Amino acid sequence: MNMEIIPAIDLIEGRCVRLRQGAYQESTVYDGDPLDVARSFEEAGAKRIHLVDLDAARGSGSNLDTIGRIRRGVSCRLEVGGGVRDQDALERILDLGIDYAIVGTVLARNPDLVARWAAGDHRGERMLASIDARDGRVQVAGWQESSGVLATELARIAGEIGLAAVEYTNIARDGMLSGPDVAGTVEVARATSLPVILSGGIAATADTETILQEGQELQGFIVGRALYEGAFSLEEALGIVAAREDRS
């Protein structure tokens, strides 16, 4: 399986930002139109971009206009999360032509509801499970509350529901440039029938090598802050993956 590298764009009020451990008060705003950022990722070789509407996630607004502009401006696959707590929100995202809608809080709180959404019109093929955990337990409501559910158990449930994949974040690593939690993500991968994508903590090209060596069961990884702060380029990371695949 080819390892996917998925660059991330987090949105607040139409601007690119990055949070530290999900804390809105610890946000960094980056210059540049989000559409230009998305185009630069696509030009660098990204086949898929991860978008998060942080305003929708905390119930304080929406970035759907910006997301729609990005959809019209790039041809690569797009996935969108943040605030997908009812079927209307899910449909609004999918109706923009977004490839995947990401469900997190609603999956942890009401998996039966998500199962009903997934069952209609093969919609599960366009839905991803976002599992964000602290000390192995799933956090919800923009990472402000603990659900009490184990990440491995929710990953298993997501597989039974028939979603497309799981994206797992160790919140303690997110936005901290402290290195990825490969072992924890592999544990989640072993608990589910779905492909699993790692998120959080990637700080250097060496982390790409680590994931390739220790996370062979994973489908890919999401990277954000390291790209924005110039720790390495997307081209460099993609080159490492390509070289590894050429040797295998």
Reported as type and span, the H/E element at residue 106 is: helix 105-109
Q: Which two tokens stand for residue 161?
A: 């529901």
Task: Over range 168-177, report the average pLDDT.
Answer: 83
CA distance 44 to 46: 6
**Exposed, middle or buried: residue 224 (CB in 10 Å: 0-12, 13-18, 19+)?**
buried
pLDDT of residue 21: 61
Provide the token pair at 96.
């923009």
CA dihedral 63, 114, 49, 231 (to 10 degrees): 90
Q: Which two tokens stand for residue 76?
A: 């690569």
Mean pLDDT of 79-84: 96
Active site residue 86: no
In the residue annotation, 36 being an active-site residue is answered as no
pLDDT confidence of residue 170: 93
The beta strand positions in the chain, using DSSP E, are 4-12, 15-20, 23-30, 48-53, 77-81, 100-103, 127-134, 137-140, 145-150, 165-170, 196-199, 220-223
Task: Tell me what pLDDT residue 172 has.
Answer: 86
Of residues 88, 112, 121, 132, which has the active-site annotation?
132
Q: Which residues contact residue 247 at a Cβ distance below 8 angstroms, ignoring those fewer than 6 apart?
A: none
The whole-chain average pLDDT of the chain stands at 93
Q: Which CATH superfamily is domain 4-247 in?
A: Aldolase class I (3.20.20.70)
**3-class state of residue 151 by DSSP:** helix
pTM > 0.75: yes
Q: Say yes or no to pLDDT of 34 above 60.
A: yes
